[in-house]
Structure 1
Amino acid sequence: MKVEELERWTFLIILTFVSCLFLFLLQPFFESILWACIIAILFHPMQMWLERKVGEHPNFTALITLTACVFLVVIPVLLLLTSFLQQGIALYQRIDTGEIQPAQYIDRIRQAFPVAQEFLERIGVDISSLRENATKAALATGSFLTQNAVAVGVGTFNFLLKLALMLYIAFFLLRDGRQLIEKLVYVIPLGDERERLLFQNIAGVARATVKGNLVVAMVQGALGGFIFWVLDIPAPLLWGVVMAVLSLIPAVGAGLIWLPAAVYLYADGQWAEASILVAYGILVIGLADNVLRPILVGRDTKLPDWMVLLSTLGGIGLFGINGFVVGPLIAVLFVAFWQIFGKDLNAGVADTGVNNDHDQPKTESDTTKNQTANENPTKQ
């Protein structure tokens, strides 16, 4: 027995080491694998619909599903990023030529709101240095891109390489995803029922988080870009994309962009435009977040709003932009494991018979016996 036990523990240690080594090997491709899994989860219903229409042809249905993903998601995102970069370069050129001067914006705000200047000075913020740094930062960004064109090109190449790898992995996950889940259920020693429940929770939260957050981000970005275009604020598409990205942070989001813009409009004397922007930001952009996010994210993830906020912020802090998915996913796994533990613990307490008889519900047979005894006391 000692030899068999030693062999088993040795095998488990080596198995753990090899598994960790393999995960470390895949670490550079974490983003591609993560988004490939998300694509497979999001487009799995479409693949199931195709299988019902054309029959069991895994390669064909996976290819058609992936093609639909490319045209519906990948190409529009690439076009949006291209427009974003174009407007960003155009904005930098206007700053470089002096057409737009960030320092003047700060001076106008300081003159219009002297109370704000006093408050900033009390907390140790030097307005003069802030004024200088605003211009330097704007020009430094553009000069960095100009001087490091090779690095930018390498970054673009790496992005396209990761995108191709993501689509490649997604194809096989769409084709063989269900078989992979069954193999994981077979090898993971948690019990088939628990494992299926966990995989369902993972799929549910990934689907809800991505769909919900991306829908909210696109809606808020589109609404913010639209009002910036209406009010003739420079680079509306650029700021719309920035608002969309910031909208991934619950309870903060697009207000980090439209609120300072409204403050500047007030400082510049454009009271009507500033009031319109504030009202629009609160009633339209903010309402879209308050209405859509709980419906699309909180309801499907079955997480309270405060846990969605904290897990999203923590995930972004640890994993970057991918954290808006990873954070809530970890939170759901945390809740699911504790729910399973509580269920097993309570089931164990019930099996040991700790509860007294008068605390247990009467069965139908017990009720029938009591009625018979009351009707015929002489038979007892």
Structure 2
Amino acid sequence: METGRHKATTRETAGFTLFLIAITVAMIWSVWAFSGAILWAMVLAVVFSPFKERIQRKMPGREGTATAITLLTIVCGVVFPVGILIDMLIQEGAGLISRLQSNSTDLPGLFDRTVRALPDWAQSWLHQYGWDNLTNLSDRLAANIQTLAQAVGARALSIGADLFAYLGSLLVALYLIYVLLRHGATVVERAGAVVPLAPHRRAVLAHNFVSVVRATVKGTVVVAVAQGAAGGVVMWLLGVPNALLWAVVMTFSAMLPAVGTGLVWVPVSIYLLATGHVWQGIVMALMGAFVIGTIDNVLRPILVGRETQMPDALVLLVTLGGLSAFGFNGLIIGPVIASLFLAAWEMVRQEQEEGIPVPAHIE
């Protein structure tokens, strides 16, 4: 004899809701140590999924092989180069700090020549705020060099101690990339089925998430790496000390709208002029303005459609805010949050214009 389906009471529904919230929070807390690995696994899976699909079309029925080839491409094209770059960057930074500690660089003299190379209005502005006092500035710098060296040394020891944690996160990320590339459609379908949103809203938000992730990686990270690489090559050819270090700094500055690579190549040009390398300083300024600075205008329209871009002012705000709140992961999280925010309120606007009542509670 069949019995009717049990109708949950209000108390039972409230109890299950509290349990669902608690167990979800506990689950998030238990995997939070790998939050960065999970985020970048999702990002790389989203970015490389079209590449995997193209391989799979050429190899019908061999999805596992196509996924393995894609994962190997990610390891060889992303993971290894980033690891090598980090190692080189640490060595460059250590060398720079060592030279500063040994006083092999005439910092006061260099600063004096740099100030004299500036326009009169800039020199007056520095004098007004007392920033042209070489003695005070050099004393402050000397006092902080030792502290900086100790901090870098402590950080190096911390990195060594946390090596296994980093390797563990890397292995988790690689495994998740494989799973998402192989079973991503199933994961998205099953996750979407339990999200308490209308299907059309889920579709819009999912589309925005994928679009902004790809736009951020291709239109921000790839372009910034190209600009940093170009700047590094130019500085290396011109004999600028620690060219690799400044190339990495230029890469990060290129990710910030309204700031850009000028944050690096302008001071480098002034440095070269101040140290008597006139033609090198002029070349650096010309290359920065007409080559490095225009890479963004050339590559971004090719890599990213204009329809996926947000206003530069908003991108700058959410990128800086994301970096401040979430560290390096905020480079992705900030734009994603902004995109979903705009998409959600755009749906509200459209529904109001169409006369569809907006529910006061989550569907």
TM norm. shorter chain > 0.5:
yes
Do structure 1's residue 303 and structure 2's residue 310 form an aligned pair?
yes
Alignment deviations for residues 158-185 of structure 1 (CA, whole Å, 9 cap, x no partner): 3333222211221111122111110122
The answer to whether the 8 A contact 1:298-1:308 is kept is no
Q: Which residue of 1 aligns with 2:29?
A: 24
Do structure 1's residue 289 and structure 2's residue 310 form an aligned pair?
no
Note the C-alpha offset of 1:338. Answer: 1.2
Q: Which residue of 1 aligns with 2:230?
A: 223
Structure 1 segment 261-340 matched on structure 2, within 5 A: 261-293=268-300, 296=303, 299-340=306-347
Do structure 1's residue 119 and structure 2's residue 104 form an aligned pair?
no
Q: Which residue of 2 aligns with 1:369?
A: none
CA distance in 2, matches of 1:70, 1:242: 24
Greater RCO structure (CA 8 Å; 6+ sep): 2
Most deviating of 142-151 and 71-80:
142-151
Q: Which residue of 1 aligns with 2:220?
A: 213
Q: Which residue of 1 aligns with 2:203?
A: 196
Structure 1 segment 95-106 matched on structure 2, within 5 A: 95-106=100-111
Alignment deviations for residues 225-283 of structure 1 (CA, whole Å, 9 cap, x no partner): 12211221112122112211222212213222221122222323333222222222111
The answer to whether the 8 A contact 1:294-1:305 is kept is no
Paired-residue identity, %? 37
Do structure 1's residue 53 and structure 2's residue 63 form an aligned pair?
no
Most deviating of 133-142 and 188-197:
133-142
Q: Which residue of 2 aligns with 1:5?
A: 10
Q: Secondary structure at the match of 1:43?
A: helix
Note the C-alpha offset of 1:210. Answer: 0.8
Do structure 1's residue 92 and structure 2's residue 97 form an aligned pair?
yes
Most deviating of 132-141 and 311-320:
132-141
Structure 1 segment 168-179 matched on structure 2, within 5 A: 168-179=175-186
The answer to whether the 8 A contact 2:231-2:292 is kept is yes
CA distance in 2, matches of 1:125, 1:294: 42
Q: Which residue of 2 aligns with 1:362?
A: none
1:44 to 39, 42, 49: 49
Alignment deviations for residues 258-312 of structure 1 (CA, whole Å, 9 cap, x no partner): 2112222232333322222222211112222344346645725242222222222
CA distance in 1, matches of 2:157, 2:187: 41
1:183 to 190, 196, 202: 190
Do structure 1's residue 71 and structure 2's residue 76 form an aligned pair?
yes
Q: Secondary structure at the match of 1:348?
A: coil
Q: Secondary structure at the match of 2:240?
A: coil
Aligned CA-pair RMSD:
2.7
Alignment deviations for residues 96-118 of structure 1 (CA, whole Å, 9 cap, x no partner): 44332333322322444475454
The verdict on how the C-alpha distance between 1:302 and 1:271 changes in structure 2, with shifts beyond 3 A counting, is: closer
The answer to whether the 8 A contact 1:103-1:132 is kept is no
CA distance in 2, matches of 1:101, 1:122: 24
Note the C-alpha offset of 1:90. Answer: 3.0
Q: Secondary structure at the match of 1:75?
A: helix
The verdict on how the C-alpha distance between 1:110 and 1:98 changes in structure 2, with shifts beyond 3 A counting, is: same
Note the C-alpha offset of 1:58. Answer: 4.3
2:173 to 146, 163, 166: 166
The answer to whether the 8 A contact 1:213-1:297 is kept is no
Task: Letter of the 2:98 partner, please give it.
Answer: Q
CA distance in 2, matches of 1:176, 1:77: 27
CA distance in 1, matches of 2:11, 2:68: 48
The verdict on how the C-alpha distance between 1:307 and 1:85 changes in structure 2, with shifts beyond 3 A counting, is: same
The verdict on how the C-alpha distance between 1:192 and 1:149 changes in structure 2, with shifts beyond 3 A counting, is: closer
Note the C-alpha offset of 1:187. Answer: 0.7
1:348 to 342, 347, 355: 355
Most deviating of 81-90 and 341-350:
341-350
CA distance in 2, matches of 1:281, 1:247: 12
Q: Secondary structure at the match of 2:241?
A: coil
The answer to whether the 8 A contact 1:145-1:152 is kept is no
Q: Which residue of 1 aligns with 2:361?
A: none
Task: After the TM superposition, list the runs of 4 or more consecutive aligned residues in structure 1 that deviate by more than 6 angstroms.
Answer: none
In structure 1, runs of 5+ residues without a counterpart are 351-380
Q: With structure 1 as the length reference, what TM-score do the two structures score?
A: 0.83
Q: With structure 2 as the length reference, what TM-score do the two structures score?
A: 0.86
CA distance in 2, matches of 1:195, 1:327: 20
